[in-house]
Amino acid sequence: MKVELKQLEGWKRALEVEIPVEDVNRQMDTIVEEFRRRMSVPGFRKGKVPEKMARQSLGPTVDEEFLRRVVPEAYERAVREAAVVPAGQATIENLDYKPGQPLKFTALFEARPEIQPRDYKGLKLKQENDEVNEDDVDKVLADLRERSADFPVSEGTAGPDSILLTDYEAHDENGKLMPEGRQHNYPIELGAEGLLPEFRTGLVGAKAGEGRTLTVNYPSDFRNEKMAGHSVRYDMKIREIREKKLPDLDDNFASTRFGARDLADLKSRIRLQLEGESRLAARERLEAAVVDDVISRNDFSPPESMVEELLNNVERRARDESKDITDDDVRNLREGYKSAAQRAVKRDLLWEAISRTEGLTVEATEVDAEIQRILESAKSRQPGQGPDERTLRSEAGRSRIHDALADRKVYEFLTGSAEIAQVVRPRQSRIITP
């Protein structure tokens, strides 16, 4: 078999393949014989049809089967002979097949780059660590208190933080009832951030059973495009008023709401969670900094086929999660993820190259140990919530764990040789549940 590899633009390659006529005839004979053994023709026993008659009877079917079987096999063999690793699926062009002649075709694909990494040792990095202090703990406590508030029915008038249960009809500028403009038992939280001021000023002071008419002018940049820039009249009836009642921050609050021994124990739990969250965030920021630094020292254009494969995976997940997603949504999604996909491909190829250069390997025993660690850590979970052991031990599961361990080894190698300056900064606010 003749194989010629041609380098095109970037990572694109053209693999020209020619299969000698002797090999073509031999493989065709094999396929015809397979068909002939299964053929039933009047006047002949099954499998005893003469070869010439079998060929005539099969017609284009045998040629289609020949190409379906032979071209992929020849392509795989040609790739090995050319010592190239495709980055994605190949496109077959210039297929030239005539009985009694050599078979020729051209395979177009992108080659998977073999990067020669450089300057990845001795990185100078900064690890930002979030400081956790009493103010951070108190902020979380205050948030937990807000989220634990009760809302008893009030017999008085609505205040700036009241929640009103209303029936209303919404009419447009022409007085016409709007689509879905009639609502029952609709809650309006007067203290909610983002509530338009016309609702707040028009409803503060209202009583249960009262009727109110409000005219609301929606700004042109309002999040609901159907309402943006329009004036809407609301004819409302106040069904019920509720007032927010915050619980006392005491031992009873800590024990009954969150299962802590007392308030001090709850604060301790919050601090531990904040500190753990801060360590995890610091590690994630450091990992991102390592990736960005190594890429900046070894930047290259990744194969488009590898980037497209990641974007295709993103699209498949989005379509699985939402049956209402539109083609415009998909285009925007792919465009939004493209930069991240390019970065991910660069990282994977560089990590692979560093692992190869430094001889970093993952043994089967390490994969076994990681599987066991995952299973042990899952024992405290509820039945059915942990990982499936069969899935973990499957070929695909072991492959994923192997890749994760290989990534970890490269990261630990890079940080182990790096100069990392530790920096303490004020903690960024996050909402947590202890």
Looking at per-residue pLDDT, the higher value among 144 and 38 belongs to: 144
Q: Alpha helices of 99-194 — where are they, by DSSP H?
A: 134-147
State the pairing for strand pair 12-19/177-189.
unpaired
Cα distances from 35 to residues 28, 175, 338, in angstroms, run 11, 77, 48
| Averaged pLDDT, 79-99 | 93
Q: Which element (helix H / strand E) includes 355? A: helix 327-358
Here the contacts of 195-204 (C-beta below 8 Å, separation 24 or greater) are 200/160, 203/158, 203/164, 203/236, 203/238, 204/157, 204/158, 204/159, 204/160, 204/162
User: What letter does residue 384 receive in the DSSP assignment?
Assistant: T
Cα distances from 406 to residues 6, 323, 363, in angstroms, run 33, 36, 10
pLDDT at residue 43 in the model: 55
| Strand boundaries in 65-135, DSSP class E | 91-96, 103-110, 124-131
Percent with pLDDT over 70 in the chain? 91
Instruction: Say whether pLDDT at 45 is over 60.
Output: no
pLDDT at residue 373 in the model: 93
| Averaged pLDDT, 197-223 | 93
Q: In what order do the strands lie in the sheet with 211-217?
A: 177-189, 163-171, 231-242, 211-217
Residue 29 has which token pair? 């004979």
Q: Specify the CATH class of 253-426 in words.
A: mainly alpha
Domain 150-242 of CATH type 3.90.226.10? no
pLDDT at residue 56 in the model: 60
Q: Which element (helix H / strand E) includes 76? A: helix 60-82
**CB 211 within 8 Å of CB 203:** no
| Averaged pLDDT, 241-262 | 94
Where along the chain do its domains lie? Answer: 2-110, 150-242, 253-426
Looking at per-residue pLDDT, the higher value among 112 and 193 belongs to: 112
Whole-model pTM?
0.74
pLDDT at residue 432 in the model: 43
pLDDT at residue 170 in the model: 95
The tens digit of pLDDT for each residue in 310-331 reads: 999 999 999 999 888 899 999 9
pLDDT at residue 37 in the model: 67
The tens digit of pLDDT for each residue in 332-365 reads: 999 999 999 999 999 999 999 999 999 999 999 9
pLDDT at residue 425 in the model: 87
Q: What is the mean pLDDT of the chain?
A: 90
- Report the C-alpha gap between 371 and 291 in whole angstroms: 26
Lowest mean pLDDT among 42-56, 133-147, 189-203, 222-236: 42-56
Residue 50 pLDDT grade (very low, low, confident, very high; cuts 50, 70, 90): low
Instruction: Say whether pLDDT at 433 is over 90.
Output: no
Instruction: Say whether pLDDT at 429 is over 60.
Output: no
pLDDT at residue 51 in the model: 63
Instruction: Say whether pLDDT at 397 is over 90.
Output: yes
Residue 172 has which token pair? 């447009």
The tens digit of pLDDT for each residue in 213-250 reads: 999 999 999 888 888 899 999 999 999 999 989 999 99
Instruction: Say whether pLDDT at 52 is over 80.
Output: no
Hey, what CATH topology would domain 2-110 get?
Answer: Alpha-Beta Plaits (3.30.70)
pLDDT at residue 28 in the model: 80
Residue 378 pLDDT grade (very low, low, confident, very high; cuts 50, 70, 90): confident
CA atoms within 13 A on the CB side of 416: 6
Instruction: Say whether pLDDT at 33 is over 80.
Output: no
- Report the C-alpha gap between 267 and 265 in whole angstroms: 5
Q: For 410, phi and psi rounded to 5 degrees?
A: -65, -45
Residue 375 has which token pair? 């299973």
Residue 286 pLDDT grade (very low, low, confident, very high; cuts 50, 70, 90): very high
> 395: exposed, middle or buried (C-beta count within 10 Å: 0-12, 13-18, 19+)?
exposed
pLDDT at residue 377 in the model: 85
Q: Which element (helix H / strand E) includes 71? A: helix 60-82
Lowest mean pLDDT among 45-59, 210-224, 278-292, 376-390: 45-59
Instruction: Say whether pLDDT at 117 is over 90.
Output: yes
- Report the C-alpha gap between 352 and 346 in whole angstroms: 10
